[in-house]
Each structure stands twice: as structure tokens, then as C-alpha cells.
């Protein structure tokens, strides 16, 4: 077992899984790609766009002073407006789908205990039963509505927006909306007289937008420390720019996954031993599968399947297969050392957390005893800083992975194909309930 350690972050892995020297030339190429990305080159070639989500947490990286000033100005404005809405409202409807919904959902699930009086209700689908369950009995006079769509034309989000506007109107209430979208979209223009509107830039994809207004609006509403979150992302970015494979946690993770992938293990199982990170694997599912699930530059189809829930729950469900079934995966366990929320467990020898640690360590030993690929990430606690660091780590892993295999990780042609097909059905005039 080899341990990478820096600033409280630990990564434990099998040093025999890959030979760093074997990948040294590839790593230089991957580093150059990531440097050119951060410097503003148009690496999203299919959509002819820059990729700038790293600038959101470190505006000094932005390729020009205009972008840098815009990021800082938006951040200052967001802090002021969220401070006001935090004071004025107890509830928030958050209408967004995909990357515009998963990040906020993860934030609220992870940090809702910090402000138990605040409720964020994420409306990330158009299932009428789901909308009814989530919106009924919510006091509209005490609820703000955040409408989030990069294009400003996302069908599902627009439908939810209209439903919410109708709901407020039914009670003769003004619509207390804030919009998060690109400038000059239909949503941006509609929100001209709303309570606020914040930018999503063209160079920020939905699945990497959590460090912008998409995530920060929820951070601000819950009274969380936005600056610490951004600082955690910057901290991990610095670690993962290191040009020494063995001293770069993202390159270690990426090459472990690459090595496993080349040996036919095309699944990634991520199991956080924390209820607060239960949504984290869903978040990574989109990050990996929407970024990497596509054709390579040479035309070959590619993809990484991501799954997982939480420990110790998963030990009583699919760990049986991980240890004794088909060996087609890499397992990443995530451990936090110090719980933030305390309970009275003094009557239990060592407390609940001692048992949680024992099951994590025991599961790791059991999995590794069958020569299965298993890595462990350890952070001191789940606060804003380490939350930001975790997300930044996996963003860089995806970037390295894509650079190695020759994939544009920043477009999503398959998603667009589904939208076009749905539009055809809607415009057909058919009774869709009769189509089988």
C-alpha cells in the first residue's frame, strides 16, 4: 500500500497497479493539454468553445482581464443578493436539470444540517407526481424560485418555471424569481425585472458549473462559506498540476483507472463512508459518463460506468459481487475522519464512528484479498473546503482520462440527440400514450 499525503488529504493505493515510468510520456502530453485548457485554448473543438470552469475558483487563471473582472463582479453580486434572500425567505424552489440540478442537490443533501430552518426543493424533472409531492404544502409567500438553464430554453426547466409562475399567480403573489443562465438568452431577458439574475458563461458546462452561480446560490442561501469552497477547489487544482505522477493525486487516480480500463475493468464504483455524501456518486456518474461516454477521435466507442451508494449500506448489497463476482471494476472508498454532527453515543465502546471505520477498513481488506483494485481517499472532515477539494479532484481525473484516450470531455452530442427526438414526438400531433 502506497500513501500520497498533503495538507490533510490522503490517497492510499496499490503501488504495483501501474508503473509510472510506463506512462511518463503520456503524462507530459496530458499535462500540456490541461495547461492549454486552463490558458483558454478552444479545446472543445466540436462546439468551438473554451473550457473555463477552473477560472471560476481562480479568476487569476482567466486568459484576459475582462473575463477575470466579470467573474469577480458576479461573485460579489451573488454574495449580496443571496445574503438578502437568505434573510427574506425560508424556502427555495430550485428548477434545474442535469448539471444544473445535481450540484445543488448534492450541496443541500450534504450541508442542510447547517441551516435546518432552510429548505431547498430541487425540481429536476417533469414527472407530475414528483412535482406534486415536492411542491405541495410549501408556503409560496416564504419561497423564492431559482430558475436555472444555461441555454435559457431547456424544455423541462421552462415547463417547471411556467408551473411555478402559475402557482404563485393562483394565490395573487408576485413571482419571486432569480435566473441563472447565459446572458441574452430568453430566460435572461425574461428575468430583467426579477429579484436577480446571474451568468453562466458559454465556457462553463453544466456538469462543471457547481463552482459558479449554479452551486453558489445554494451555498449563499444556506449561509455556507463560499470562499472556503472556492479555496478548497484551488488547493486541489494546485496539487493536481504537479508534473510528478507520484506526487499528483489526480494522475495517480487517473492512471490507476486507465490501467484497470486497459485490462477490461470498465466500471468505477465509488463508495463514500458518509451519509452526507450519498449524492456524491450520482454527481460523479454524470461527470464521468456525460464527459467520457462517446466516440473517441478515432471513431471507437468509449465509456466508463459509475455506480455506488454509501458505506456501510453497500456492504450489505453489492459488495458480495465486488469480492467474489466478476472482476470488472475499480473501487474507490471515501473516508472522512471527523464527523461534524455529534450524537450521544458514549454508551457504545468507541462510538459509532469507530464501527464505521472498522467496516471501511474491513471491506477494503476483504476486497484487496481477492486482488481487486481498491483505492481509499481520506479527508479530515466534510466542510466547504474539503467538499470543494473532492469535486476539483475528480474534475481533473476526468480531464486527464479524456486527454489520454483522445476524447472531447466537454461536449454531449448524445444528450442533444435525445432532445431532438423528443421534439419530433411532440410536434407529431400523436397521442403519445398510445405509442409503444
**Active-site annotation, residues:** 290, 316, 419
First to last CA, the chain: 53
Strand (E) or helix (H) holding 130: helix 128-135
For residues 373 and 260, the answer to whether their CB atoms sit within 8 Å is: yes
Cα gap 166→156, rounded to integer Å: 16
Cα gap 377→121, rounded to integer Å: 30
Q: Strand 2-6 relative to strand 9-13: parallel, antiparallel, unpaired?
A: antiparallel
Cα gap 347→335, rounded to integer Å: 24
The percent helix, strand, coil of the chain (3-state, each to 5) is: 55, 15, 35
Cα gap 221→94, rounded to integer Å: 11
Cα gap 339→318, rounded to integer Å: 26
Please classify residue 138 by burial: count the beta carbons closer than 10 Å to its beta carbon, then call 0-12 exposed, 13-18 middle and 19+ buried. Answer: middle
What is the residue-wise DSSP string for 139-173? -GGGEEEEEE-SSS--HHHHHHHHHHHHHHHHTT-
Cα gap 355→360, rounded to integer Å: 9
Contacts of 128 (CB under 8 A, 6+ apart): none
Peptide bond into 313 cis (omega under 30): no
Contacts of 352 (CB under 8 A, 6+ apart): 343, 345
* 3-class DSSP state of 217: helix
Partners of residue 307 on adjacent β-strands: 269
Amino acid at each position: 500500500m502506497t500513501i500520497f499525503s498533503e495538507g490533510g488529504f490522503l490517497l492510499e493505493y496499490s503501488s504495483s497497479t501501474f508503473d509510472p515510468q510506463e506512462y511518463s510520456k503520456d503524462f507530459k502530453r496530458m499535462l500540456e493539454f490541461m495547461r492549454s485548457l486552463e490558458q483558454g485554448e478552444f479545446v472543445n473543438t466540436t462546439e468551438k468553445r473554451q473550457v473555463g470552469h477552473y477560472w471560476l475558483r481562480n479568476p487569476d487563471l482567466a486568459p484576459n482581464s475582462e473575463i477575470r473582472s466579470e467573474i469577480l463582479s458576479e461573485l460579489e453580486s451573488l454574495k449580496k443578493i443571496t445574503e438578502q434572500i437568505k434573510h427574506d425567505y425560508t424556502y427555495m424552489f430550485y428548477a434545474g436539470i442535469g448539471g444544473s440540478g445535481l450540484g445543488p442537490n448534492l450541496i443541500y443533501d450534504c450541508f442542510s444540517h447547517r441551516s435546518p430552518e432552510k429548505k431547498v426543493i430541487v425540481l429536476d424533472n417533469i414527472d407530475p407526481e414528483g412535482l406534486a409531492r415536492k411542491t405541495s404544502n410549501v408556503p409560496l409567500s416564504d419561497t423564492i424560485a431559482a430558475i436555472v438553464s444555461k441555454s435559457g430554453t431547456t424544455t423541462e426547466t421552462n415547463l417547471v418555471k411556467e408551473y411555478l409562475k402559475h402557482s404563485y399567480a393562483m394565490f395573487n403573489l408576485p413571482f419571486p424569481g432569480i435566473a441563472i443562465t447565459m446572458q441574452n438568452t430568453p430566460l435572461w431577458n425574461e428575468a430583467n425585472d426579477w429579484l436577480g439574475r446571474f451568468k453562466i458563461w458559454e465556457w462553463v458546462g453544466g456538469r462543471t458549473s457547481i463552482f459558479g452561480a449554479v452551486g453558489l446560490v445554494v451555498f449563499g442561501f444556506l449561509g455556507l462559506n463560499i470562499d472556503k469552497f472556492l479555496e478548497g477547489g484551488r488547493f486541489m487544482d494546485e496539487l493536481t498540476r504537479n508534473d510528478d505522477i507520484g506526487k499528483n493525486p489526480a494522475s495517480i487516480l487517473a492512471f490507476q483507472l486507465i490501467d484497470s480500463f486497459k485490462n477490461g475493468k470498465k466500471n468505477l464504483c465509488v463508495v463514500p463512508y458518509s451519509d452526507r455524501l450519498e449524492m456524491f456518486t450520482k454527481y460523479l456518474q454524470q461527470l464521468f459518463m456525460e464527459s467520457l461516454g462517446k466516440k473517441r477521435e478515432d471513431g471507437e466507442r468509449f465509456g466508463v460506468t459509475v455506480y455506488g451508494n454509501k458505506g456501510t449500506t453497500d456492504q450489505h448489497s453489492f459488495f458480495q459481487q465486488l469480492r467474489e463476482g466478476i472482476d470488472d471494476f475499480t473501487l474507490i472508498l471515501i473516508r472522512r475522519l471527523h464527523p461534524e454532527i455529534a450524537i450521544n453515543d458514549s454508551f457504545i465502546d468507541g462510538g459509532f464512528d469507530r464501527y464505521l471505520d472498522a467496516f471501511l477498513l474491513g471491506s477494503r481488506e476483504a476486497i484487496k484479498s481477492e486482488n481487486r483494485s481498491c483505492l481509499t481517499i481520506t479527508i479530515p472532515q466534510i466542510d466547504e473546503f474539503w467538499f470543494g477539494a473532492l469535486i476539483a479532484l475528480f474534475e481533473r481525473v476526468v480531464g486527464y482520462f479524456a486527454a489520454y484516450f483522445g476524447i472531447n470531455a466537454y461536449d454531449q452530442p448524445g444528450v442533444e440527440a435525445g432532445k431532438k427526438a423528443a421534439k419530433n414526438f411532440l410536434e407529431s400531433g400523436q397521442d403519445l400514450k398510445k405509442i409503444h
